[in-house]
Chains A and B, each alone.
Chain A
Amino acid sequence: MTTSRSTRIVLYVYGILVIAFLYLPLISVGFASVSQARYLSFPIKRYSTKWYGEALASSTVSDLLTTSLSVAVLVTLISVVVAFFGALAFARYHWRFRTTFQKLILLPIFFPQTVLGLALLMWFNSLGIIPSWKTAVVAHLVWIAPIATLIVAIRAYSFDPALEEAARDMGAGTFTILREVTLPLLMPGLVSAGLFAFLLSWGNFPLSLFTTGADSTLPEWLYAKMVSGYSPLVPTLGVMSVVGSFVLILAAFAVAWLVRANRDAKVAQD
């Protein structure tokens, strides 16, 4: 189908508007972070990277990063393990109440996170657990592990169970099958599940707000500083947080690209 000139112009304008709407706010935060002024104002009079220097030197910032990173890394690891076994249980075994269980597990994704956070906080209180970043890990998991399971399950459903049967038929035991067949085939799913888990935990605000107790994650701190006692470190940390996420995504793409290139090089040798 050929597009007429006028349709094309409308499409371009539409596309540019959407992109501007999505990214301009983010870009403005980027500009704010390199302004030397203490308070947010446009246009920026003097550019400086001094707030980045302060951020890197600040012990508050390193505490925040440590907490956010600890939560995100633990949530990622546990989610991936839970997702691996959960997805296999759904895709490979037929048991009673399987579909009911599947729906129940996915339900927390659709709860408003504030309600989920509040409910978990009340639950921790009634159990006598003092909220800290560790309880936040549990809270994040309630919401993130189902999403990770869903991602791995999509991969697990598309994989022919005959592959594992064939490996067994050729003499492989359970552990060998897992190592040689199941894990390599589910790996793309596990990597994307891990990536999602990390990013969702890293950026999560509502669940953390209710469940971190005295500890504070990066999004919580950004919010607190915006509400009271604005610090010029806010846009700086905002940018650092976004850059961290991008680096992670780029790293994942780079690994995928390297694996593929390595495989292609092997094939091209003959």
Chain B
Amino acid sequence: MDSSGLLRLRGVVKRFGTFTALKGIDLDIAEGEFFTIVGPSGSGKSTMIRLLVGMDEVSEGEIWLRDKRIDQTPANLRPTCMVFQSLALFPHMTVGQNIEFPMKIRKEAPAKRRARAEELLDLLRLPQSYYDKRISQCSGGERQRVALARALAFDPEILFFDEPLSALDYRLRKTLEKELKDLHARTGKTFVYITHSLEEAMVMSDRIAIMKDGQFEQIAVADQIYSAPVSRFVAEFMGEVNLFPLHAGADGKIASPTLSVRPGVELADLTPGHEGLLMVRPEYLRLADGGGFDFTLSGVVHGEYALGSRIQYEIETENGMVTVEKLREDRLSAAEGQTVTLGFNAANTHFIGDAA
């Protein structure tokens, strides 16, 4: 057993009756890492976190924490802690009693518990007067901080998060995403975060794992997942994307049924005789009036949508609807219904091979 990671999964399988929720997961999470598992609902991410904290048992495989195998250890004996989606704050206790709960279980002295709770209120930027408040008197964001303080009071080796921000409104979510990232930096703890929101994952994580049908599609840093997805699923999951079918003849010449390709263009990953999808993100498409682009196609402007700082256009082409995004100050000088030619360069694309 190699021991490179703090948390290591080897061939973890979870079955519910005849349904296999996790199909042989291998994973290494490093100490101090902010690791996020993203996937649509039903992808197995919630099952995964329940196995990791010990609320469900693995069907096959091993989970190691440092040099200890923990997959058979019950949740209450594992040195890990989770922030629940519902936060699971005890409604019959005050903020202070909630935070002190794990220390009370460990039978620490009341004075020591109180001192630590006060430290944690400071760390989470909650006023000391909150110690005696009831949970029902706290706002959504404050409850979030209390739940974090309580989890930190447990002093876990790994802190797990099960979509804790999903019930909050957009503005508060954005603030708390940054606070969580900041908290991660200040505490130096290992965070393992589960979410269905890619935006959340991108803002906070060191590495992201994309999950689909009980398996990982890709594990990489955020930037790489965005710019170089390994599959159509990952590309589409990671925000707006345009995909064009592409193939290379035996002579290496690239052709596409929907794109005009400039002669001599080469793509590193496209070898002669193969085909796949060319991915380009909406922000890399330009109006190609003057020419000079590796790939061009024409279409009719179909719609224009304001996204705040950016404007999104939908252009109807032979390839279906193509999405273009521009900064507000660079808005396209084309009206709805007008025919335009769009262009982009090979450097801004990513090729997804035929297997995917």
Contacts and interface: CB of A to CB of B under 8 A. Distances in A.
Interface of A: 160, 162-163, 165-173, 176, 180-181, 184-185, 263, 266-267, 269-270
B81 interface: yes
20 contacts: A162-B84, A163-B90, A165-B88, A166-B82, A166-B84, A167-B101, A168-B55, A169-B54, A169-B81, A170-B76, A170-B101, A170-B150, A171-B106, A180-B104, A181-B90, A266-B94, A267-B132, A267-B134, A269-B132, A270-B132
A25 B197 CA distance: 66
Given A180-B104, A267-B137, 13 more contacts: A162-B86, A162-B88, A165-B75, A166-B84, A168-B75, A169-B80, A170-B81, A170-B102, A171-B102, A171-B154, A172-B105, A263-B134, A267-B134
B171 interface: no
Interface string B130-142: 0111100100000
Given A171-B154, A267-B133, A269-B132, A165 B55 contact: yes
Interface string B67-92: 00000001111001110111010111
B30 to A, nearest CB: 23
Contacts of B134: 263, 267
Contacts of B101: 167, 170, 180
Interface of B: 53-55, 74-77, 80-82, 84-86, 88, 90-92, 94, 101-102, 104-106, 129, 131-134, 137, 150, 154
A188 to B, nearest CB: 10
B76 A171 contact: yes
Contacts of A166: 82, 84, 88
A162 B104 CA distance: 19
Contacts of A163: 88, 90
Contacts of A167: 90, 101, 105
B281 to A, nearest CB: 38
Contact of A169 (B82, B86, B92): B82
A139 to B, nearest CB: 36
A176 B54 CA distance: 18
A266 B132 contact: yes
Contacts of B133: 267
Contacts of A263: 134
- Most A CB contacts (10 A, CB to CB) among B86, B105, B137 go to B105
- Most A CB contacts (10 A, CB to CB) among B88, B132, B134, B150 go to B88
Nearest to B102: A170
A232 B26 CA distance: 85
Contacts of A181: 90
Given A169-B75, A270-B129, A184 B92 contact: yes
Contacts of A180: 101, 104
A171 B53 CA distance: 11
A267 B105 CA distance: 24
A173 B134 CA distance: 25
Contact of A173 (B76, B86, B106, B131): B76
Nearest to A263: B134
A180 B98 CA distance: 11
Contacts of A267: 94, 132-134, 137
Contacts of A176: 105
A158 B54 CA distance: 24
A173 B107 CA distance: 13
Contacts of A184: 92
Contacts of B74: 168
A97 B91 CA distance: 32
B162 to A, nearest CB: 9
Nearest to B97: A180
- Most B CB contacts (10 A, CB to CB) among A165, A169, A176 go to A169
Name the 3 nearest CB pairs between A and B, nearest first. A166-B88, A170-B102, A162-B88
A169 B105 contact: no
A41 B150 CA distance: 69
A266 B133 CA distance: 9
